[in-house]
A = this chain, B = another copy of it.
Amino acid sequence: MNTLAEENYLKSIYHLSLNDVNVSTNQIAAALNTKAASVTDMLKKLADKALINYAKYQGVTLTAAGEKIALHIIRKHRLWEYFLVEKLHFKWDEVHEMAEEMEHISSIELIDRLDKFMDYPKHDPHGDPIPDRNGNFKKYELKPIAALNVNENGIISGVRDHSPAFLQYLEKQQLTIGKKIKVTEIIDYDLSMILQVEQTEIHISREVAKNLLIAI
């Protein structure tokens, strides 16, 4: 069907498209840890296969066919992450690299049965939505805690930074998905925030507040 490299390019373009309509060669190169020249080569192949819209120097967008493939890879990635955490008891900061490999297992029947086995989860361990077999998922907006004012509250529902270091920090602070938080104070000097989480108060930096998302 598609090669592993092609799948990774499509997935990266999809993710980058969430922030910018047109995705640039350099953005893709940075995301995939490769060189711009290599990206240009691959963009030509993907355009030949009608998976992206590509005009020299203009950046790219996914075609409907390309987006469908990207969403299927993302579905697999997130279902496997859910499996690793819920069934094999890995921690949420440990599963991404494994899922990067597992997302390329090709069988559609396998992933549909895995979905059923886990009772059709709607979100992966990091709060990201899991597309269904047709690529559909509810696009509900999240906003960073940094956007809250004093006395406003919300439920932790996602992260903007998926790095193990950040996830481990959150875990240690008990700032995990589903927790209800309320902003009790914003420090003028550095815009750091003091949160009420269950019985305790937690002080987080502006940096953390920008990368921790709540449902609106």
Contacts and interface: CB of A to CB of B under 8 A. Distances in A.
A202 interface: no
Interface stretch (A26-34, A110-118, A174-182): A110-118
A89 B113 contact: yes
Copies in the complex: 2
A88 interface: yes
A38 interface: no
Contact of A98 (B87, B105, B117): B105
A98 B113 contact: no
Interface in A72-110: 84, 87-90, 97-98, 101-102, 104-107, 110
B101 A106 contact: yes
A105 B102 contact: yes
Nearest to A112: B88
B88 A113 contact: yes
A106 B98 CA distance: 8
A87 B97 CA distance: 23
B117 A88 contact: yes
B113 A90 contact: yes
* Interface-centre pick from A101, A106, A110, A113 (highest chain B CB count, 10 A): A110
Contacts of A102: 105
A77 to B, nearest CB: 13
Contact of A101 (B87, B105, B117): B105
A98 B107 contact: yes
B98 A110 contact: yes
7 contacts: A89-B113, A97-B107, A98-B107, A101-B106, A101-B107, A102-B105, A105-B105
Interface of A: 84, 87-90, 97-98, 101-102, 104-107, 110, 113-114, 117
List of 6 A-B pairs having minimum Cβ-Cβ separation, nearest first: A88-B113, A98-B107, A101-B105, A98-B110, A88-B117, A102-B105
Given A84-B110, A88-B114, 16 more contacts: A87-B117, A88-B110, A88-B113, A88-B117, A89-B113, A90-B113, A97-B107, A98-B105, A98-B107, A98-B110, A101-B104, A101-B105, A101-B106, A101-B107, A102-B105, A105-B105
